[in-house]
């Protein structure tokens, strides 16, 4: 597995990271044994980054990940979050941050996480996140409970406003660095890397849109985006390729990222995704995909207080 620098820290991460939202059932039912097998297979394949949150499956993802990583904690770069606890349940207050990290450490069966992120900052007040929430994360860092701190969310402008104002170590962006939406690569990525902040690119499959079976019912993308993705899946098949392989190869060919996260719910999926990294995206196929994507390229949806 290729490794990439984590900002200016001198550490390196596996280029592909394990997104553990599916372990909490975000994309459909996953058994405890199935989730555990996926995590153990990822470790065998050299994946060292694992991302979770108390929000995923109302803490189930953290609990399952903590159990599956038992005995391997020192081999991995473990990421969790604070501030989001349900679909519409947010609490970015310093008191809740302090309690949240302690609860997460218990579920994850460890005394520290490698990266602690404020989860979905666009649902909070930006000024208060900068003045109150992030200082609380820094207190957790000072106490040795988190080695690095940062923010995650959807609107790139919300992430950039905070990253420019507070010396966070990392930013996690999702659904902006893949075949359907490439705006991360032109805006937040160069801004953060110029400041030495690591950028983690999540949802390379556009939260399931770029798969043969398509996204889950809760997916916020407009119907035109889903239809184009299904046309891409058919085109890939005609070329003897899998849409998930092509989507990963496309996203991971971009320089400057610290890590790319893909959500995984089975050992077979992580095997397939790691295997895809051994190959390059075909330029001819990519040009044909670009033509399909063009009418809906970079199409976004509202999230939090940001349109
Ligand atoms: P994703 O784009 O990675 O898609 C995940 C879906 O694709 C799942 O249904 C998974 O089973 C499926 N899949 C994966 N590999 C496959 C394969 N080879 N063949 C067929 N299907 C395959 O979406 P995601 O999981 O939402 O994003 C990745 C991770 O990034 C999350 O799990 C989470 O850890 C993180 N994330 C964080 C935030 C945030 O902090 N706000 C937001 C989104 C994602």
Taking the centre of ligand 1 as the mean of its atom positions, its distance from the CA of residue 203, in whole angstroms, is 5
Query: Is a pLDDT exceeding 80 seen at residue 204?
Result: yes
Domains of the chain: 3-209+250-281 (3.20.20.100)
The answer to whether 56 is a known catalytic residue is yes
DSSP annotation of 303: B
| 258 touches 199 (CB < 8 A) | yes
- Is there an atom of ligand 1 within 6 Å of 17 CB? no
Q: What pLDDT score was predicted for residue 305? A: 86
| Binding site membership of 169 for ligand 1 (Cβ less than 6 Å) | no
In the predicted structure, residue 76 carries a pLDDT above the cut 90? yes
The label of the residue with tokens 């989860």 reads 119
**What share of the chain has pLDDT > 90, as a percent?**
96
Q: Give the closest residue (by CA) to ligand 1 atom 14.
A: 264
- Gap from CA of 261 to ligand 1 centroid (Å): 7
Q: Report, as an integer, the average pLDDT of 299-303.
A: 91
Residue 157 has pLDDT above 80, yes or no: yes
In ligand 1, the atom with minimum distance to the C-alpha of 276 is: 18
Q: How far is the CA of 221 from the centre of ligand 1 (A)?
A: 15
- Atom 30 in ligand 1: which residue has the minimum CA distance? 202
> Do residues 210 and 181 lie in contact, with contact meaning Cβ atoms separated by under 8 Å?
no
pLDDT, mean over the chain: 96
* Per-residue pLDDT tens digits for 220-268: 999 999 999 999 999 999 999 999 999 999 999 999 999 999 999 999 9
Q: How much is the pLDDT for 15?
A: 98
Q: Is 90 exceeded by the pLDDT of residue 306?
A: no
CA 54 to ligand 1 center in whole angstroms: 16
| Residue 281 confidence (pLDDT) above 90 | no
The rounded distance, in Å, linking the Cα atoms of 4 and 258 is: 6
CA distances (Å), origin 55, targets 45, 59, 81, 153, 214: 27, 6, 8, 13, 23
Substitution candidate for ligand 1 out of 121, 150, 151, 174 with most atoms within 8 A of CB: 174
The atom number, within ligand 1, closest to the CA of 204 reads: 2
Three-class SS of residue 258? Answer: coil
pLDDT grade for 307, boundaries at 50, 70 and 90: low
Active-site position among 56, 85, 154, 174: 56
Calculate how far, in angstroms, residue 97's C-alpha sits from the geometric centre of ligand 1.
25
Between CA 39 and CA 155 the distance in angstroms is 29
Q: How far apart (Å, rounded) are the C-alpha atoms in residues 176 and 282?
A: 21
Q: pLDDT by residue (tens digit) across 81-122? A: 999 998 899 999 999 999 999 999 999 999 999 999 999 999
HSE value, Cβ hemisphere, 13 Å, CA-based, for 227: 6
Q: Which of 195, 100, 183 is nearest to 146 (CA)?
A: 100
């Amino acid at each position: 597995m290729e490794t990439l620098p984590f900002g200016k820290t001198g550490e390196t991460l596996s280029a592909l990271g394990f997104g553990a939202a599916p372990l909490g059932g975000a994309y459909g039912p996953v058994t405890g044994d199935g989730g555990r097998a996926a995590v153990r297979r990822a470790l065998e394949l050299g994946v060292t980054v694992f991302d979770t949150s108390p929000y995923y499956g109302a803490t189930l993802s953290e609990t399952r990940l903590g159990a599956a990583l038992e005995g391997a904690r020192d081999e991995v770069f473990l990421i969790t979050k604070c501030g989001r606890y349900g679909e519409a349940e947010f609490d970015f207050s310093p008191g809740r941050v302090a309690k949240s990290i302690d609860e997460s450490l218990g579920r994850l069966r460890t005394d520290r996480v490698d990266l602690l992120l404020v989860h979905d900052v666009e649902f909070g007040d930006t000024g208060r996140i900068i003045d109150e929430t992030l200082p609380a994360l820094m207190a957790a860092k000072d106490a040795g409970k988190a080695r690095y701190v940062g923010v995650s969310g959807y609107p790139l402008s919300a992430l950039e406003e905070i990253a420019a104002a507070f010396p966070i170590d990392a930013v996690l962006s999702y659904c902006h660095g893949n075949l359907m939406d490439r705006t991360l690569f032109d805006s937040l990525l160069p801004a953060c890397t110029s400041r030495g902040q690591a950028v983690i690119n999540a949802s390379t499959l556009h939260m399931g849109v770029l798969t043969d079976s398509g996204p889950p019912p809760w997916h916020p993308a407009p119907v035109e985006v889903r239809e184009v993705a299904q046309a891409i899946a058919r085109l890939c098949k005609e070329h003897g390729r899998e849409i998930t392989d092509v989507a990963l190869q496309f996203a991971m060919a971009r320089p400057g990222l610290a890590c790319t996260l893909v959500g995984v719910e089975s050992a077979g999926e992580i095997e397939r995704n790691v295997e895809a990294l051994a190959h390059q995206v075909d330029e001819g196929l990519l040009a044909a995909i670009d033509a399909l994507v063009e009418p809906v390229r970079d199409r976004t949806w509202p999230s939090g207080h940001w349109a």
